[in-house]
Amino acid sequence: MRRVARGPVVVLTFELDALPAWQLEFLREGIELERPRFGTVEALAAALGGRTKIERISTPADCSDGFFEAFWNRPEALLDPDIRASQSMWALLDDGVEERIVARLGAALESGDWDAEYGHLRSQQSFDGSLRLVVSEP
């Protein structure tokens, strides 16, 4: 991109290790599959070259996009098969893994364990998590 772009190059990406702790826990099998596809923001910045800065982007509580961090405060959404169908991670999983993740998350929500550990997220207005804007100037 930097080779052909005359102006700034802007890439919105994720820093997977900065996802909400509950997503790192419950979605770990999928996140490990995604890791090689995303790489690090530092590697992306280096590849773009030029004068590069990395900005953190907060995700609002009512984010309507379908990426999984958008549901940082609404874990129930990931129990919906239509929501999961819009996210590429789920298609990468081996047979049976999606069902195990959904069962694990569903059980934690039903028992109240999720809310006991992570319920404080429900009252936040935004989450400063994994979204990164990488801006490279020539």
**Angle made by CA atoms 77, 83, 84, in degrees to the nearest 5:** 105
Q: Is residue 91 part of a domain?
A: yes
Q: Is residue 2 part of a domain?
A: no
Q: Is residue 58 part of a domain?
A: yes
- pLDDT tens readout for residues 8-59: 999 999 999 999 999 999 999 999 999 998 889 999 999 988 899 999 999 9
Tell me, what CATH number does 88's domain have?
3.40.50.150
Give the structural domain span for 15: 9-137
Q: Is residue 17 part of a domain?
A: yes
Q: Is residue 3 part of a domain?
A: no
**Number of structural domains found in the chain:** 1
Helix/strand/coil percent split, the chain, to 5: 55, 15, 30
- Whether this prediction's pTM lies above 0.75 is answered by yes
